[in-house]
Homo-oligomer: A and B are copies of this chain.
């Protein structure tokens, strides 16, 4: 199936929907035509802000699915609602963009994968970070041999605070503290999805995962699963690590979440660093490579975090209008979910988790 012009409904108009909307608003092949939220007032604010002139606003998801003038449903709901919302959209023949993580456990993911195989329209699991321009540039450099064969990956998630961060309504996030709704911890599982997707993006599926996971309360009482040290083995004598640490007084330079994200990939011949993501500590080069006595830094790319959303959505529009597969496919989304769930399970069971 191939679309000429995408009519998009955004389901869930919370904080993050601002970044999902950008590419739809700027691409002539797509337009946002409907908004759905349990809080219609919130949806209305978005409609005005986005200059969506004829948006139909509803608090009933069934309205969206029943509307023949909608091609694509962008699902931005709490995690535990992902499966049923996606299954319903597939049943209604809609193309689907489903926010990561696709589901809250593997059983759900299996059902979604199976349903997507028979669906009339394609399903994309929306993972922005692997579309972040420094990440895609890094992947291209590695493919060109910039660091030889990658041997290890190190990822760091370091949330802090920021005078310039955007504001996230406190209540809107409450469901993330309920494991039944979220599926896992806010840093190892929810934000962790981005990081495990990055590890998968550069190194493939892991064979074994081990996690030490702590617990820290933010000043507002919100409980974080930090610090955490997650280690993983990949086939072929390759390894990786995710360090998560919450620094309550670390001032982050950002317009989005107050979090520093870093990636270091060590290869047989060189080392590559991606030095920013949600925010920055100072203004390090977004992308740097050491090799053969030379350090090269790359600056001719967008580095705002929103660029990862724009590129992910842009890729989706291209896939739907050209009839190619979206990225992540549901199968890929399940692989990353399994990776993240293994970190959760290792913490619970106090042992490394095999994935082979």
Contacts and interface: CB of A to CB of B under 8 A. Distances in A.
Interface in A235-262: 237-241, 243, 245-251, 253, 260
Nearest to A260: B271
A270 B282 contact: no
Contacts of A246: 151
Contacts of A215: 237
Q: Which of A246, A267, A294, A352 has the most C-beta atoms of chain B within 10 angstroms of its own C-beta? A: A294
A350 interface: yes
- How big is the A interface, by class? 35 or more
Contacts of A292: 251, 300
Contact of A239 (B229, B300, B350): B229
Given A214-B237, A296-B295, A247 B229 contact: no
Contacts of A216: 237
Given A227-B239, A237-B216, A293-B298, A268 B285 contact: no
Interface string A143-163: 000001001101010100001
A19 B4 CA distance: 38
Contacts of A238: 227
A281 interface: yes
A111 interface: no
A338 interface: no
A282 B299 contact: yes
A327 interface: no
A341 B276 CA distance: 36
A212 interface: yes
12 contacts: A158-B266, A158-B271, A229-B231, A229-B232, A229-B241, A253-B293, A260-B271, A280-B299, A283-B283, A283-B299, A294-B297, A352-B352
